[in-house]
Amino acid sequence: MQKIIPFLAMLIVLAYAVYNAKFRHPEKVDTKTNRHYKEHIKTYKTTHYEDELSHINSDEYTKEYIIKVINQGSNSLDFKSGVMEAGFARPDDAEKIACYTMTLSGRKCKKAYPEDAAMFYTSICGGCHGNDGKGLGGVYPDLNKAKMLGIENREMFLKSMHKQQSDTK
Ligand code: HEC
């Protein structure tokens, strides 16, 4: 009897391996059947893409984008003078600098920002983007554009994803 136990154990392991390989298939993640995706559509009556596209031109979205660039760096827009590294400003100062940057093109933040934001912008960002945000005559990205380059790229990407989704429906 003692001799049979290891043999039995091996048989069980083998049988389990065969069962796994033959009968169990990993759950397929399909955007049409994915539970979270379905719930999102049910709650918001829209897809992620449509949702983001619907507010991509808003002041709030622009603010979040500038904060992201300050904290994480630009995601390589292939601008002439290279990429912008993360961390020119402290994360704590990113929001007020973003708000000040937006006023250069007439946009506004909902929350009032402290007065020293202008000083932060001119001393940290102005050297490259210009104190007026226009990018020193095209050497650096113009931060006064109605739609910043990164947002334009993101919009193009979302529209193409959205199109793919409607094509497969
Ligand atoms: C050393 C120069 C330099 C400094 C300093 C600098 N940037 Fe930049 N910034 C760049 C470059 C270069 C790019 C474009 C990078 C690319 O092609 O990916 C850029 C891109 C950006 C973009 C994206 C623009 C777009 O159209 O999508 C924003 C927003 C931005 N910078 C804001 C700031 C802010 C705010 C500060 C100050 C905290 C700052 N930058 C400091 C060089 C700089």
> Residue 69 sits in a domain of what CATH number?
1.10.760
Q: Ligand 1 test: best mutation among 56, 66, 74, most atoms within 8 Å of CB?
A: 74
13 belongs to a structural domain? yes
Q: Which residues constitute the domain of residue 126?
A: 58-146
Quick one: tokens of 167? 């094509």
* Cα 51 to ligand 1 centroid, rounded to whole Å: 27
pLDDT in tens, 68-117: 999 999 988 989 889 999 999 999 999 999 999 999 999 999 999 999 99
**Confidence (pTM):** 0.79
* Nearest alpha carbon, ligand 1 atom 33: 125
| Residue 74 and residue 115 share a domain | yes
Residue 141 CB: number of other CB atoms within 10 A? 22
pLDDT at 157: 94
Q: In percent, how much of the chain has pLDDT > 70?
A: 91
Q: What is the pLDDT of residue 98?
A: 98
Give a yes or no: residue 154 inside a domain.
Answer: no
What stretches of the chain show up as alpha helix (H) in DSSP?
A: 4-23, 35-44, 48-54, 59-72, 91-103, 116-120, 126-129, 135-138, 149-168
Residue 16: is its pLDDT beyond 90?
A: no
Sign of the four-CA dihedral 125, 91, 145, 108: negative
Residue of higher predicted confidence among 165 and 74: 74
**Cβ neighbours, 10 Å, residue 161:** 15
The Å distance, Cα 120 to ligand 1 centre, comes to 14
Return the closest-CA partner of residue 52 out of 166, 156, 164, 167: 156
Would you say residue 105 lies in a domain? yes
What is the pLDDT at residue 95? Answer: 98
Q: Are residues 13 and 67 in the same domain?
A: no
pLDDT band at 27 (very low <50, low <70, confident <90, very high): low
Phi, psi for 51 (deg, rounded to 5): -60, -50
- Same-domain check for residues 94 and 71: yes
Asked if residue 114 and residue 62 are part of one domain, the reply reads yes
Predicted pLDDT at 3? 80
Segment 27-33 mean pLDDT: 58
Ligand 1 atom at minimum distance from 82 CA: 12
Considering the domain architecture, whether residues 74 and 38 belong to the same structural domain is answered as no
pLDDT digits (tens, 9 = 90+) for 38-69: 777 777 777 788 889 999 999 999 999 999 99
The per-residue pLDDT for 74 is 94
What pLDDT shows up at residue 33? 59
